């Protein structure tokens, strides 16, 4: 008899509706307390602790103690990408109808996808970088050209040192747009830049990223000029 594939145990953890709701919230990349996750899942704190312990044991979630509180986060970007891939499969052909609903519009425009951004804005940034020749595809994913390195430096983006094992940039299929947005260290730096300059603000209750008045003025030029 063949051994059971390891992903069957992971799939069972994700399949539970309560744990799935918790994982969906943690896709924002922000750590949450057990109490916050209990509220999201609609269960008692005691029940949430049991569910979270299973997610930690399965290496899907990590926990950090801070004083009397425990904060939970997705274990890695790989976990986030697996959840996004499952969302793509689960939505199927219903994606257009779902994302056209008013309640989904903020998420469709811009949302957190772990440490980077997803949605219409993220796809537009990916397309701009490719169109301007700042990014080129190679065997490892995407790399910055000479013009791209100058572009990133001019904007003060914090990128890994040359030779770092951290992946700089690669395409990630967008759940709502069905096109690639940018993932990797460059995408993380871009999101941090937008938040630090108050172009975008994170919604504490969801993964949505809202455009600020400053962002309304600055982002169009950012996307157009390259």
Q: Which domains does the chain have, with CATH numbers?
A: 6-75 (1.10.10.10), 78-225 (no CATH)
- Cβ-Cβ contacts under 8 Å for 91 (sequence gap 6 or more): 98, 175
- Identify any residues that bridge with 211 across adjacent strands, giving them in sequence order: 200
What integer pLDDT is reported at residue 126 of this predicted model? 95
Q: What's the pLDDT tens digit per position in 160-217?
A: 887 788 889 998 888 788 889 999 999 999 999 999 999 999 887 778 899 999 999 9
Query: Are 224 and 199 in contact, with CB atoms under 8 Å apart?
Result: no
- Report the C-alpha gap between 186 and 75 in whole angstroms: 20
User: pTM here?
Assistant: 0.72
Q: Please determine, for residue 222, whether its predicted confidence score (pLDDT) is greater than 80.
A: yes
What integer pLDDT is reported at residue 135 of this predicted model? 94
How much is the CA Rg of the chain, to the nearest whole Å? 19
What integer pLDDT is reported at residue 91 of this predicted model? 63
pLDDT greater at residue 26 or residue 1: 26
- Report the C-alpha gap between 68 and 23 in whole angstroms: 23
Q: Please determine, for residue 115, whether its predicted confidence score (pLDDT) is greater than 70.
A: yes
What integer pLDDT is reported at residue 161 of this predicted model? 82
**Which pairing describes strands 141-144 and 170-173: parallel, antiparallel, or unpaired?**
unpaired
Q: What's the pLDDT tens digit per position in 42-101?
A: 899 889 999 999 999 999 999 998 888 889 999 988 888 888 778 767 666 555 566 667
């Amino acid at each position: 008899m063949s051994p059971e594939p390891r992903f069957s145990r992971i799939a069972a953890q994700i399949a539970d509706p309560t744990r799935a709701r918790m994982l969906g919230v943690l896709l924002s990349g922000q750590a949450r307390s057990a109490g916050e996750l209990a509220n999201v899942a609609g269960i008692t704190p005691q029940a949430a602790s049991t569910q979270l312990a299973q997610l930690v044991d399965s290496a899907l979630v990590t926990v950090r103690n801070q004083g009397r509180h425990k904060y939970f986060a997705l274990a890695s970007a790989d976990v986030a990408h697996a959840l996004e891939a499952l969302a793509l499969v689960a939505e199927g052909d219903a994606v257009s109808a779902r994302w056209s609903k008013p309640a989904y519009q903020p998420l469709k425009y811009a949302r957190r996808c772990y440490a980077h951004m997803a949605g219409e804005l993220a796809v537009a940034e990916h397309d701009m970088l490719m169109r301007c020749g700042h990014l080129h595809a190679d065997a490892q994913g995407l790399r910055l050209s000479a013009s791209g390195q100058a572009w990133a430096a001019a904007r003060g983006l914090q990128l890994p040192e040359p030779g770092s094992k951290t992946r700089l940039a690669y395409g990630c299929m967008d759940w709502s747009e069905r096109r690639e947005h940018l993932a990797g260290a460059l995408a993380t730096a871009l999101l941090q830049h937008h938040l630090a300059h108050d172009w975008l603000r994170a919604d504490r209750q969801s993964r949505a990223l809202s455009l600020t008045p400053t962002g309304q003025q600055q982002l169009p030029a950012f996307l157009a000029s390259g």
